[in-house]
Every structure is written in structure tokens, then in C-alpha cells.
Structure 1
């Protein structure tokens, strides 16, 4: 079976799918991963065929506009506005890339950014498919949708406000609908718009929606329809030939377990300011640290600090006293799998949801938005995380449950149940 995985965004939006792709190949499938050019090597290293999706997320987040999005993206209004503005940029680029990625495919597996176009291609061409989400995407009474960046709207509001908003916007044209309506016409489908497509996907019993995080971290809500599942993480492929730099090994062996500091694909041009805050916090906390540069080119100095580049989380995190991160879905999962306390500093999107979840799970002493970060606040959180052993005990217990799961196997099993064709009753 030829399977096309279509994803776009930052490294955290791609790495889980390269791991899933390698597992699908091991199960005997021919796998294409379509994503941005920056991740072509990662796709090929996973043994999958690379196809290009337009766009450059690093350049987008590092631009002046991207910095504005990260600064104002929290709260209901800020979250919605950021989703709209970033979504417009992505929608303008996605259609042709999805069409090319789907060429010759028997099944489409779609990450969020590719979901609308991919669903339409699947419908128009009768190709089975499913959504593969990295954070909860279907309304439930249990919690507010992470994309809204609101902690709680009440059980009725959590479940119904997103549907009411989607229902209202599905009956009117919005600026975001233009590219998708044109794409529908191109495919010979009646134009409807983004909100209507999302409502259809959420209701379509022939369209599975699988979430690649542990149900021990976010239990599956009882009010989700059949076919909407939380199946466990899709881990990036292991790198058996990778060897840690001697300098890093020597540092780890030279003293007590350090704290990891890294913000992945976040912060863009704010690296220098953030580095100054982090350096001051480390001095106040009196801890050793491993600092990962990431897209911000984060760099700190000191006798008890080492700066590193790309290093597998599965090797590094278990050796840490705590992990300070941006609360992206992938890094959150990696820290939980390692069984270490976490200190989340979210910037945008679903990150505040994961930050709040880590505190609720009892594996984090607290969180603060990255834009509000101070050295004193970060130092206090680090000290509490590394001195109060209850955080590590709870993290280790949760890690045991996560290790027992196999999210990729659940997707492989689901592929056997997909029907050869989708409804087209819009």
C-alpha cells in the first residue's frame, strides 16, 4: 500500500510523522512524507520518499510578523487572531503541494496544516484517509480546545461554543475561505469554506481522527464520537549511529544532573534577550545546565553551562534534573517519557494547553508565558522542580504508563479498517 503522510510546520510538526513513517515501512508499506524542504533529510533518513510542500516556517516565525504572533497569541481573542493570520499564510501555499503529495497514494494521513486540503482531495478522488493530530482537535465538555488558548469555558461552553462559532462562520464567507473555496472548485466539489469542512470532518464516521499523545496524559473524552481516539505518541525514529559529543559526555559526568533549557522552533529573533534571562535565572538557581540553541540560536555562558545543537531527546532527557521547554507537543511528550520534571514556558498555539496539563499531572511546579518570563520566576520554578522530589516521582510513574503504549501500532491497525472510499454528500 502506498501511504502519503502530509505535514507542514516546525520540526515538532514533522518529527512524529517521520517516526510513524519508518514504522509503516517496517510493516511493509511504501511511504511518502510530504513536508517543507527544510526537513527533506529527516524524511529520507527515516527511509521514506520526500515530496515538497511549499513554505518556510522558520522564516515565517523569525519574521517581524511572526514575532508579533508569538507576542500576542495568548487568550481567546489573541489565539483566534493568530490562528487566522497564520492560517491565511499557510492556506495560500498548501493546495498544490497537497495535490502533488497525494499523487499515486492509496491512503492519505494528514497533519493539521494539511487537513482541509487533504480531506478535500480524499473526497474528490475517493482515497481513504485519516487525520493525525498532535493535540486535541474535537470539541469536548472536558476541556476547551487547545487552539483557543482558554483554560475553561464551563462544560457546556467547552463543548458547544466551538461548534456554534463554526456553525455561524460556515454560513458566511470569511477572508480565510477564499483559497479553500477556490480549491474546492478546482477539485469539482461544491464550495463551502473552512468551518463547514471542519464540521463535516468532525461528524464524518468514515473519517478517523487519531491523536498522537498518551491517553495517560489527556484521557479520551467520553463525548467524542467513534473513530476519534487518543492512541499514544508517535516517536521520532531512533538514530542508532548517533554518538554524543565527548564534550557533552564529559560535562554530564563531571557533576550533578543538570537542567535542560531549550525552546525548539520558538522565539525567532528574541534569542539574545531570552539568553540573558536564562543565564540570570541559572545563576540565581545555582544549577548546572545544558542549553540547546534551537531556532532562536540560544546561547549562554558559564562554568556550569554547556551549549549544544541537535541532540536526541530520548538520550539526553533521562539524564536531566528537569527540562525547561516551550511546551510544544513533541517536547512535552519526550520529557514525560523521560520521567523528569518539566518547566513549560509556552509561546503560542497549543503550548499553553500542554503547560497547564503538566501542572495538573503534578510533574511541573508551574508555568509562565514566554513573553512574560523573568529571571526570578524561572529561577524559582527550577529550584522547586529539582528540590521537591514529588515532581520526579509522579513523572517517573507517568513515564512507565507511556512506555507501555504504542501509538504507531494503533495507526497501523486502523489502516486495515479504512474503507476504500469516502462519502461525498456535501
Structure 2
């Protein structure tokens, strides 16, 4: 991960901060670097803090919600109000890989389940005219607004989309492509708020339909998802992170941490 971002880090240091470039292997084993607190912007309800982490804080997620005057498209509102909560399916930039094949699998899975669905755009040659009345396509849309209004969320397992789905309190189905996505998919399954992830290369309409059916009908899973969502909604990760930054500004660089795991 470090090697993939090292060039950009070096440019930022040189052109923006006026700092020397970091070592080839990064700063993570540097004693100087370890003097600074490390902040993880995720929920301790999703990943609890390991006992051997020092000078490290799990603050809660850092969400950036839509502006207060933001309004959703009227056509989307009409679709949501015209029937039962739909299934959300969106793979972000991942859907550009074999988009036609992925679209065929998804549409067949939706047909097999008999569910209504919202597809986020990015499906290659698929247009709105190709869709049945039970499927609605949206462009970029606020996850914090939409996800609480759907029955389940199906996505690629990116860290941000996973966080938004968990906060919404609805079950999650992860279709990981690469990188950290398999990890988040496995974590969702371990928490009991979604079925086992289905790697994209193993995705079939039948497997996706089965997972959708599970998330819609499994009451225990839905309750666990709702409970986890409530915990995440009660957190203020941004305020916790700001408090740590203010402490650094006030007291300077420090080692160790207070007895509480979160500030």
C-alpha cells in the first residue's frame, strides 16, 4: 500500500509542505514517527481496538453528509414511495470491469428475487430504457440519505461505502473485486450483518439472488444490522478526532495515551 502511494506522498511533501521525502520503506518503523498518535477513522463496534496498540485511537467514522438544503431527485422519491423498500446495488468505479456481464448478472438476480432495486450508474452500455419498472437507475446520490431507505445494500466493499451501509442499519452484501474489499466483506459476515462475501469472479445471478433473499428475510440479521447502525449513529468520530488534534496542538508531540481507549 505504501509503495503505491509513495510518489504522491513525496510530491506532497516537497511541493506543499517543504519537507524531505520519506524513506523508501516508509515511516512506519521509525521511532520518530511512532511518537505521533495514529487515528483510525472507523467504529470500534466494527473493529475493536487491539490490546497491543499504543498511542493509537479508533475515533469512530468520519462522515461527510449532504448539505441541509440538499434535495433528492423527485423521480427517485416517486420510485421509493411507489412500493416496498428496494435493494441498492452499486459497485462504484468497479462496475466498469466487464460492465455488460455484471449488469446481466445483477438484473437476472433481481428478477429471481422479485425485489425492486436501485442501480447506481456506471453500468457501461446499460441505459434506463433497458430497465423494467421495478428497477430505477440513479447517478451519484448521497449514501447517507439513500441507504436508510432501502432493504439492503449491495456493493464492492470499499471502506467508505461499507461504513455508510453499516451506519444505515440495513444488511450489507459485499461483492469484493480487490484490495481491502475482501477484508471488509469478511468483517460484515463476521458481525452477522450480511452474508458471506461473493468475490466478483465467483458472482452468479443465483448466488446474488440467494444472498439478497437472505438479507431481506433473515430477521436476526436485520436486527443485528439495525443495532450496529444505532451504535455507529451515536458516535461522533469527527469530534473525537478533533479533540486529539487539539490535544497535540496544546501539549505538543507526546508518547503514550490516556487510560481510555478513545478520547
TM-score by length of 2: 0.87
Q: Report how far residue 422 of structure 1 moved.
A: 9.1
Task: Give the aligned partner of residue 219 of structure 1.
Answer: 48
1:7-406 pair list within 5 angstroms: 83=1, 87-88=3-4, 90-102=5-17, 121=19, 183-184=21-22, 192-194=23-25, 197-200=27-30, 204-225=33-54, 227-294=55-122, 301-406=131-236
Cα distance, 1:93–1:416 mapped onto 2, change above 3 Å: closer
Q: Report how far residue 420 of structure 1 moved.
A: 4.4
SS at match of 2:94: coil
CA distance in 1, matches of 2:13, 2:114: 50
Cα distance, 1:380–1:401 mapped onto 2, change above 3 Å: same
Contact 1:260 1:320 in 2 (8 A): yes
CA distance in 1, matches of 2:240, 2:204: 42
CA distance in 1, matches of 2:171, 2:252: 45
CA distance in 2, matches of 1:199, 1:234: 26
> Unaligned regions of 5+ residues in structure 1, if any?
1-82, 104-120, 125-182, 185-191
Cα distance, 1:421–1:340 mapped onto 2, change above 3 Å: closer
Contact 2:65 2:144 in 1 (8 A): no
Q: Report how far residue 357 of structure 1 moved.
A: 0.8
CA distance in 2, matches of 1:289, 1:205: 47
Q: Report how far residue 355 of structure 1 moved.
A: 0.6
Q: Report how far residue 223 of structure 1 moved.
A: 1.1
Structure with the larger RCO, 1 or 2 (CA within 8 Å, 6+ apart): 2
2:241 is the alignment partner of 1:411: yes
Q: Report how far residue 408 of structure 1 moved.
A: 0.7
SS at match of 2:60: coil
- Deviation by residue 1:345-399 (Cα, 9 ceiling, x = unmatched): 1111111111111111111022111122111100100011101111111111111
Cα distance, 1:252–1:327 mapped onto 2, change above 3 Å: same
SS at match of 1:265: helix
